[in-house]
Amino acid sequence: KAGVTQTPRYLIKTRGQQVTLSCSPISGHRSVSWYQQTPGQGLQFLFEYFSETQRNKGNFPGRFSGRQFSNSRSEMNVSTLELGDSALYLCASRGEGYQETQYFGPGTRLLVL
């Protein structure tokens, strides 16, 4: 089975712009979660989608949004970028069942100038 894939891998934007990141989960996985990783704050949960519905959301401003498509692929969008949004954004997918493991993609590294 192919793993979780994320595109693009690297991205450079300027303040005020918006950005869309994409995640393709492992085949058959309907749960997709997003995490932000920064040196200062570490790994923080952004949100989780399951069957096209946002099921859980972390403590991030409304500039961070996401969606999930019928094929379980997910996108996250950050509007009005700030310097502090520079981070590694990780996507993870998970099968159903409470003992299922969350598998992570390689991440998208976003640099905001």
SS3 assignment, position 8 = coil
Site for another protein contains 15 (CB under 8 A): no
- Nearer to another protein by Cβ, of 13 and 58: the residue is 58
The correct pick among 48, 66, 81, 110 for binding another protein (CB under 8 A) is 48
Which residues, 6+ apart, have CB-to-CB distance to 89 below 8 Å? 6, 21, 34, 35, 36, 37, 46, 76, 107, 108, 109, 110
* Residue 82 CA to its chain's centroid (Å): 17
- Give least dist CB 6 to another protein, A: 8
* Residue 17 CA to its chain's centroid (Å): 18
**HSE value, Cβ hemisphere, 13 Å, CA-based, for 30:** 9
- Nearer to another protein by Cβ, of 45 and 86: the residue is 45
- Give least dist CB 97 to another protein, A: 9
- Give least dist CB 16 to another protein, A: 28
How many residues in total does the chain contain? 113
The correct pick among 68, 76, 107, 110 for binding another protein (CB under 8 A) is 107
What residues make contact with another protein under the rule CB under 8 A?
4, 31, 33, 35, 42-45, 48, 55-56, 58, 90, 92, 94, 98-99, 101-107
